């Protein structure tokens, strides 16, 4: 079925009379487009009047729009069909900063979308989104949370305590951050009700920045008007981490992803997501670089002879000091090694990459070094075989104790990995005693926040008169302005963690229970300061800030040499 391209400043043909995918210009800054199943009216910034199932699914809400870093929303100056294929049309809406494309098939409820950068400044956020009729879209879905959006009436008498976070009369909280999740773990996200569902399905996250630990917002209730908000954040190097504005190459493509409409069935959205993953990379995208792809495989072995079992693998930028969590100028791929340390990735865009790896816990739970190599080349139609790579890990160490696996996450501790909820730090203890050999990992809490002291009681024997000990603290995150001082046996100061030495990441006060921005702190301890026999290592919080603190990953004490 061929597309209709209707132009002119008077709408001589109504959308209802158009057959198949179409674009119709109304005036210099507005257009109607869609197919026989749905249609949408696009203005200079906002797309409204989403006609689907016989009525408007937007109503009084702003509708669909796109933009970067806050409310810097795109303003469209023109629209055209750039590809008119027998079975679809590709419509480009042009703005100063780039082109937002809608690929429309005749029998598809929804459209594929992608954005091509022309002149974006250095950015930390880029997103498209829907703000929809709250009466029609009452629930939100992510891979980790599925349930009603907070009722709008709750906000009327609630107290705003921080950005889009409100305290109710009973002391509980509602916040947009509770529906956040890890980008590369999700299947799809959306808002839905008894009649209608609106979903974002990403068959690949290659255009998303950051590593496996990258997380962002998804859906929520807008607090001032009550709109159902369906976010599609495709660039985020600020939420839940130390923010970083990233330059974007001209021609970079975010997408394509599928915006999908249905009758509100989550099961149907699941099936559609499976179908999209099988069909990716999409043949309709007219971009040579997008279709130039190759594969990679290799094996990681630790320098102590162990296989890098279960290691997190990240293919990112080459020759850079930028942390994997905030790399965001190019395209990125992730996987995990198998039990033998082998890994592979398919359908990679050709080019040069850096390869990074770190412990994901389990068999590598005591490994706190990272692996990095640059100039990994991906060639079109070929599989790059990296063969066996050696990962240098700490050696000539004798463990005194370890609390928690190194995996850059707070998993294993009390409340670590709990469902996202605001204020969970306040449920942790002020004082705690952990006895090595008796206490369990789950006796340690995921975060230190309250004024007080957490003691680790342990026994050791100095191996030789000149021995030195090394205390390694792996933090899954840190939110200012909590301050903590570390003491040995009550009178020796080992080190501090505070706002003067650590930059803030917002994970803890934005409902995070697993990770924020990882950091490794190490302190040398003269062996003479350790007693032969019983010792106490104390972590004393001496500066308190509500909802903030130290998110733990692992604590390890070793004799060196």
pLDDT digits (tens, 9 = 90+) for 424-483: 999 999 999 999 999 999 999 999 999 999 999 999 999 998 999 999 999 999 999 999
For residue 278, report the phi and psi dihedrals to the nearest 5 degrees: -70, -30
- In sequence order, what are the beta bridge partners of 220? 229
Structure tokens at 399: 């463990």
Predicted TM-score of the model (pTM)? 0.95
3-state DSSP assignment of residue 290: coil
Contact (Cβ atoms closer than 8 angstroms) between residue 501 and residue 450:
no
- For 160-199, give one letter per residue: b (16+ CB within 10 A) or e: eebebbbbeeeeebbbbbbbbbbbbebebbbbbbeebbbb
pLDDT for res 59: 97
pLDDT for res 15: 53
pLDDT for res 395: 87
pLDDT for res 375: 86
193: Cβ contacts below 8 Å, ≥ 6 apart: 135, 136, 137, 138, 139, 264
pLDDT for res 4: 56
- 554/404 Cα distance (integer angstroms): 5
- The percent helix, strand, coil of the chain (3-state, each to 5) is 10, 45, 45
Beta strands in 209-350 (DSSP E): 215-216, 219-221, 228-236, 253-262, 293-302, 312-316, 333-336, 342-349
Structure tokens at 422: 């605001």
Structure tokens at 414: 């009390």
**530-533 own/partner pairs: CB under 8 Å, 24+ apart:** 530/460, 530/462, 530/469, 530/488, 531/489, 532/460, 532/461, 532/462, 533/459, 533/460, 533/461
DSSP string, 519-532: EEEEEEEEGGGS-S
214: Cβ contacts below 8 Å, ≥ 6 apart: 182, 183, 184, 208, 236, 241, 325
Among 527, 510, 552, 555, which Cα is nearest to 218's? 510
325: Cβ contacts below 8 Å, ≥ 6 apart: 210, 211, 213, 214, 237, 241, 517, 518
Structure tokens at 493: 């100061």
DSSP string, 310-335: T-EEEEE-SS--S-GGG--SS--EEE
pLDDT for res 3: 52
- For 231-251, give one letter per residue: b (16+ CB within 10 A) or e: bbbbbbbbbbbbbbebebeee
- 272/126 Cα distance (integer angstroms): 25
pLDDT digits (tens, 9 = 90+) for 491-533: 899 999 999 999 999 999 999 999 999 999 999 999 999 999 9
Give me the residues of the chain with pLDDT under 50, please: 1, 7-13, 16
- In sequence order, what are the beta bridge partners of 435? 457
- 316/326 Cα distance (integer angstroms): 10
Helix (H), strand (E) at residue 267: helix 266-279
Most distant pair of Cα atoms in the chain: their distance: 93
Tell the burial category of 440 from Cβ atoms under 10 Å away from its Cβ (0-12, 13-18, 19+). Answer: exposed
Strand 188-192 to strand 215-216: parallel, antiparallel, or no bridges (unpaired)?
unpaired
Contact (Cβ atoms closer than 8 angstroms) between residue 56 and residue 133:
yes
Strand 452-460 to strand 432-435: parallel, antiparallel, or no bridges (unpaired)?
parallel
- 226/204 Cα distance (integer angstroms): 31
For Cα atoms 239, 240, 245, give the angle at the middle one, nearest 5 degrees. Answer: 45
Strand 173-175 to strand 181-182: parallel, antiparallel, or no bridges (unpaired)?
unpaired
All structural domains of the chain: 61-279 (2.70.98.10), 293-391 (2.60.40.10), 397-560 (2.60.120.260)
Among 327, 355, 363, which Cα is nearest to 124's? 327
pLDDT for res 12: 35
pLDDT for res 8: 44
């Amino acid at each position: 079925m061929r597309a209709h391209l209707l132009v002119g400043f008077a709408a001589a043909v109504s959308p209802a009379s158009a057959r198949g995918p179409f674009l119709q210009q109304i005036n210099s800054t507005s257009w109607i487009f869609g197919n026989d199943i749905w249609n949408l009216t696009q203005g200079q910034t906002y797309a409204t009047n989403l006609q689907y199932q016989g009525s408007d699914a937007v109503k009084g809400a702003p509708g669909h729009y796109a933009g970067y870093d806050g409310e810097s929303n795109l303003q469209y100056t023109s629209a055209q069909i750039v590809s008119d294929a027998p079975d679809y049309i590709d419509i480009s809406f042009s703005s100063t900063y780039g082109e937002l494309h809608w690929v429309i098939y005749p029998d598809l409820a929804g459209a594929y979308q992608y954005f091509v950068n022309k002149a974006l400044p250095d950015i930390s956020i880029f997103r498209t989104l829907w703000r929809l009729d709250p009466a029609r879209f009452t629930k939100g879905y992510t891979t980790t949370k599925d349930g009603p959006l907070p009722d709008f009436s709750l906000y009327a008498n609630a107290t705003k305590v921080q950005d889009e976070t409100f305290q109710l009369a009973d002391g509980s909280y509602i916040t947009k951050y509770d529906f956040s999740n890890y980008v590369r773990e999700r299947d799809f996200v959306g808002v839905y009700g008894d009649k209608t569902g609106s979903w974002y399905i990403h068959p690949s996250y290659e255009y998303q920045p950051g590593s496996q630990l990258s997380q962002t917002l998804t859906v929520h209730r807008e607090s001032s008007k009550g709109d159902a908000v369906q976010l599609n954040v495709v660039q985020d190097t600020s939420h839940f981490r130390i923010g970083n504005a990233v330059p974007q190459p001209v021609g970079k493509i975010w997408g394509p992803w599928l915006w999908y409409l249905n009758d509100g069935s989550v099961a149907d959205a699941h099936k559609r997501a499976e179908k999209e993953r099988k069909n990716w990379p999409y043949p309709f995208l007219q971009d040579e670089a997008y279709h130039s792809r190759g594969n990679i495989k290799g094996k990681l072995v630790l320098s102590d002879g162990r296989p890098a079992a279960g290691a997190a693998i990240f293919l990112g930028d080459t020759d850079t000091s930028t942390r994997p969590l905030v790399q965001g100028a190019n395209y990125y791929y992730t996987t995990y090694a198998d039990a033998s340390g082998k890994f592979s990735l398919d359908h990679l865009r050709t080019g040069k990459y850096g390869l990074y790896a770190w412990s994901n816990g389990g068999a590598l739970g005591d490994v706190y070094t990272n692996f990095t190599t640059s100039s990994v080349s991906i060639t079109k139609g070929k599989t790059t075989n990296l063969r066996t790579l050696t990962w240098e890990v700490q050696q000539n160490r004798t463990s005194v104790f370890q609390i928690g696996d190194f995996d850059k996450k707070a998993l294993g501790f009390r409340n670590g990995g709990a469902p996202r909820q605001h204020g969970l730090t306040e449920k942790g203890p002020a004082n705690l005693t952990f006895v090595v050999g008796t206490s369990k990992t789950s006796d340690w809490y995921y975060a230190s926040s309250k004024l007080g002291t957490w003691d680790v009681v342990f026994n050791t024997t100095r191996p030789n008169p000149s021995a030195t000990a090394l205390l390694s603290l792996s933090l899954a995150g840190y939110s200012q302005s909590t301050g903590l001082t570390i003491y040995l046996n009550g009178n020796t100061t080992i080190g501090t963690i505070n706002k003067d030495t650590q930059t803030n990441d917002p994970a803890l006060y934005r409902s995070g229970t697993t990770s924020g921005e990882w950091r490794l702190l190490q302190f040398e301890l003269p062996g003479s300061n350790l007693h032969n026999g019983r010792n106490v290592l104390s972590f004393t919080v001496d500066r308190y800030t509500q909802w903030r603190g130290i998110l733990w990953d692992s604590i390890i004490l070793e004799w060196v040499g």
